[in-house]
Amino acid sequence: MLRSTMDSAWRVCLIFGLLVGLLTAPFQAMASDVHLLIDVSGSMKQNDPNNLRVPALRLVSELAPLNADMGVWLFSERPEVLVPFGKVNARWKTTARNRLSRIHSRGQFTDIEAALTTASAGWSAATDDDTRHIVLLTDGLVDVAPPAADQTNNELNAASRSRILNKLLPELKQAGVKLHVIALSDQVDNELMTELTAQSGGWLEHAKDAAALQRAFLRLLEQTSPPITVPIQKDNRFTIDASVTEFTLLAFRRPDRPIELVTPAKETLSADRHDKTVAWRKENDYDLVTISAPATGEWQLQGSLDPDNRVAVLTDLGMEMTAVPVNIPAQAPAWPLNIWLTDHGQRVTRIDFLQLAAAKASLIHAPDTNKVYPISLALDPQQANYHANVAVGNLPAGDYQLQAQVIGGTFQRQLTRQLRIAAVPIEINYTLQLPTAAQPQATLQITVTLDPSAVSSVSGYVHLTATTAQASDLVINFDGQTQATAEYWLPLTQPGEYQARARLQAMSLAGVPLAIAPPDQRLTLDFPAVSGADDAAASRVEAVDWPQLGLMVGGANILFLVLLWLVFRLTRPKLATDANLTSATPTGRRLIKRTK
């Protein structure tokens, strides 16, 4: 009993001692570089009649972490500075509070090219980290200044749009900039916005109306410069530890339902009842409550139960997380998730402290927050972080929230990211083509369709195995398909049951390689067998340059296996729903390929 008590006391003392002065390594925390562009063209009078851009930007400015670099520009016919770019601190936040009322809807044009050019000025060579972001809020199309005498307005707009795609976008990608877009109307150039976000690895958010702007900006803040938060439990309780010097509560609510906050001492605070250490701001849809020198212990929020509520903390004991891919096709390779603790911006390397804490993460399906997919993280002592390889497998397509938490004996930390799982961007269909007078041999038509908004090219093979017929295995390889649809054919000699297995390699628009393994398909191929067709086909195959063929088939398969081995072999993904992406190498004896 005495030993148990002493062990518990030792743990508590160790945690508190480390909170006061943690042994750290010289790894500096990453400071995000975020440029916000706000459309103030005249069409905003219709799409944002109540100027809800103001409370949306207020939410961002109040929750932005102090280690971020941020600036805000307004744009219409030309960009103008609203909040000068600089380090987020108390002065920067005060400037933002005082200037947000300048947001208007009096502009005559929507010069997106000029806005992006101004926001990206000074960015040239790419950085080694994931810190450069542009967030663009717009409700319309590219609409530049009045036309010159010899040009129509449509010509000028088309030329500006072309320069955005063909000049600005490659420059942004070269500089390592992620471009995120909030589209606030049905009139927005969705094709352009999709191209900008997909190619740069950014997030595209469609706000159905101005009332959705607050949550849209919250998601974009968490994508670009996420605040450190403490988790809110299902009963609306959250814990504040001794290292927290200030916290800001974001609580979404109905306009007719006020919220209250219960302190650890059971005192009830409200918008009308609080002391001078509390700054309470009420908006139409949410409250922002900032408390300096908060009491340690358990707090409880009353009157608001919303999955988008947040408690952002100002603390020396921070938490960071590696970049998370934004758009992930189903069955994509696993990606590494690393999270670590920081003290005064430097990584905590004291392993005995990290061992006393536990890390966990989960993917939460946005339409249904009850669908939670846990991710197991393990402590990596050499890197002083918590690690997992995450594969989305066959999770349903849609938007997800990634929540990562580190929980110690006296503290809790949380970071949140958004990601979108897309349907498999490649489809394969098999069609039996019966013999005709022009084509006396039956063939299997293989149609490969790729989604050009998700991937730029696809390579791979299809391996056809006879399960009942007395026929040889057939293999067809295709390399570097860039067109949306292509057809390939395999000659058939014997009817019966077959199994078709495809293994694909694709390249996303953002330059991320994808290994995709569609489910095997069983095919019943019924056609009249042609006497002597197998011998004829065999004689044709014998004329094939087998060394060259072996290099082509074997090389493609080896490259595919190497890709999968690098992604999956060392560490298996942790999600129970992960797909089995292990490739089987075919040993085909015949290859007859025709493309159209």
What is the tens place of the pLDDT at every residue in 64-111?
A: 998 799 999 999 999 999 999 999 999 999 999 999 999 999 999 999
Digit-coded pLDDT (tens) for 520-534: 999 999 998 866 544
- Residue 57 has φ and ψ, to the nearest 5°, of -70, -30
Span 109-146, pLDDT tens digits: 999 999 999 999 988 776 666 689 999 999 989 998 77
Query: Are 147 and 180 members of one domain?
Result: yes
Give the Cα separation of 268 and 261 in Å (integer): 6
* Structural domains counted in the chain: 4
Give the DSSP H/E element, type plus range, for residue 346.
strand 346-348
| CATH number of the structural domain spanning residue 518 | 2.60.40
Mean pLDDT score of the chain: 83
* Domain-located, residue 307: yes
Residue 453 and residue 414 share a domain: no
Check pLDDT > 80 for residue 425.
yes
| Listed residues 422, 442, 471: the one ending a domain | 422
- CA-CA distance, 519 to 503, in Å (whole number)? 9
Residue 194 belongs to a domain: yes
Residue 587 lies in a domain: no
pLDDT at 269: 97
Whether residues 504 and 372 share a domain: the answer is no
pLDDT mean over 555-570: 47
Same structural domain for residues 128 and 162?
Answer: yes
Q: Which domain CATH number covers 108?
A: 3.40.50.410
Find out whether 199 and 171 touch, Cβ atoms under 8 Å: no
Which residue blocks in 363-431 are alpha helix, DSSP H?
Answer: none
Tell me, yes or no, whether 339 lies in a domain.
Answer: yes
- In this prediction, residue 569 carries a pLDDT of 42
Domain end (from 373, 406, 422): 422
Say how far apart CA 492 and CA 396 lie, in whole Å.
36
Sign of the dihedral through C-alpha 197, 202, 207, 210: negative
- Domain CATH code at residue 340: 2.60.40.10
Query: Is residue 378, in this structure, part of any structural domain at all?
Result: yes
- pLDDT tens for each residue of 213-227: 999 999 999 999 999
Q: 228-232, 252-256, 322-326, 366-370: which range is least confident on average? A: 366-370
pLDDT > 90: percent of the chain: 61
Number of Cβ within 10 Å of residue 51's Cβ equals: 17
10 within some domain: no
Considering the domain boundaries, does residue 84 fall inside one? yes
Q: Which residues contact 536 (CB under 8 A, 6 or more apart)?
A: none
Is residue 465, in this structure, part of any structural domain at all? yes
Q: Is there a single domain that holds both residue 68 and residue 210? A: yes
Considering the domain architecture, whether residues 83 and 181 belong to the same structural domain is answered as yes
**Do 432 and 559 fall within a single domain?**
yes
One domain for residues 159 and 288: no
Please check whether residue 303 is in contact with residue 262, taking contact to mean a CB–CB distance below 8 angstroms: no
- Residue 361's pLDDT band, with cuts at 50, 70 and 90, is very high
Q: Give the domain extent around 254.
A: 244-315
Q: Of 375, 396, 422, which closes a domain?
A: 422
Choice among 182-196, 457-471, 521-535 with the minimum mean pLDDT:
521-535
Same domain, 64 and 204: yes
- Which structure tokens are listed for 439? 């084509």
Backbone φ and ψ for 93, nearest 5 degrees, come out as -65, -40
Q: Are residues 278 and 415 in the same domain?
A: no
- pLDDT (0 to 100) of residue 341: 97
Cα 416 to Cα 412: distance, rounded to the nearest angstrom: 14
Dist. CA 156–CA 77, nearest whole Å = 13
What does the pLDDT read at residue 438? Answer: 86
Distance of CA 114 to the CA centre of its chain: 27
**Structure tokens, 532:** 């002597």
| Strands of 434-592, DSSP E | 443-450, 455-466, 474-481, 485-491, 496-508, 513-516, 521-525
Say how many Å lie between the first and final Cα of the chain, rounded: 80
Helix (DSSP H) and strand (DSSP E) numbers for the chain: 12, 33
Same domain, 75 and 105: yes
| The model's pTM | 0.77
**pLDDT at residue 149 is higher than 80:** no
How far is C-alpha 414 from the geometric centre of its chain's CA atoms? 17
Say whether both 466 and 560 belong to one domain. yes
Query: What CA–CA distance (Å, rounded) separates 458 from 448?
Result: 9
